Structure 1
């Protein structure tokens, strides 16, 4: 992903704020971000969201009220959240969390543009998946 820095400092503190649906992450360089669960879910680094290559991203909708049900550490480099909609396959590295936090205004604007281009809304339900696997071809 563009904007990721390999020398990103490690988080000093990670706090889940369930009532306000934000993950607060404070880094060793003094930066602190409040990342909404919705933003994390919409930009999950998983193949389910990002696809298997450029142009295969799956636009996420209906995630405004998603909650964080679990948060597991992954080594010394990432966390693995479990969201209330069952999504749990994204590994959020320290670099990716820093990117989400520092670029969230631009990410929200990009998300709004993608929604508009798709002719859908932020709170629209996700369409049902047709068939199995990653194929989106109708039979």
Structure 2
């Protein structure tokens, strides 16, 4: 096994703010919204069985976490309030989600937009917030 994969040192589910806080031994810390975890669940139900077969998850803005079960010492299995519990999140995958969170949100929001569900997430596009594009584009 390669020893250089970051291992988590702390994992906390904040049910009020709906964030999974995870700290790694390389010093990185991430706050992953439950919604992000839910829509990027590595389960077959979400991922489909091959590229391009992903199932767009909509209406997960208020999804909660009912529990988290450890899977060996390499992963966790979150149990979501919508009864989805088949996703096994390895430390590596959680780290990747944390590292790419903004891109993933942007991607998800774009897909919701295309599918006609733009208001379906609890998040605003982080990209828009940054570019200072608040020129009264509020519909």
The secondary structure found in structure 1 opposite 2:112 is: helix
TM-score (norm 2): 0.82
| Corresponding position of 2:24 | 27
What CA RMSD, in Å, does the superposition of the two structures yield over aligned residues? Answer: 1.7
Q: Which runs of 5+ in 2 are unaligned?
A: 122-139
The secondary structure found in structure 1 opposite 2:67 is: strand
Q: Which runs of 5+ in 1 are unaligned?
A: 1-5, 125-139
The secondary structure found in structure 1 opposite 2:95 is: helix
TM-score (norm 1): 0.82
Provide the aligned length of Structure 1 versus Structure 2.
120
| Corresponding position of 2:102 | 105
The secondary structure found in structure 1 opposite 2:53 is: coil
Query: How has the CA–CA distance of structure 1 residues 122 and 81 changed in structure 2, closer, same or farther, with 3 Å as cutoff?
Result: farther
Aligned-pair distance for 1:118? 1.7
In 2: Cα distance, 1:122 partner to 1:57 partner: 20
Q: Higher relative CO (CA 8 A, sep ≥ 6), structure 1 or 2? A: 1
Aligned-pair distance for 1:77? 0.5
Note the alpha carbon deviations across 1:3-24, whole angstroms, 9 max, x for none. xxx9421100000100000000
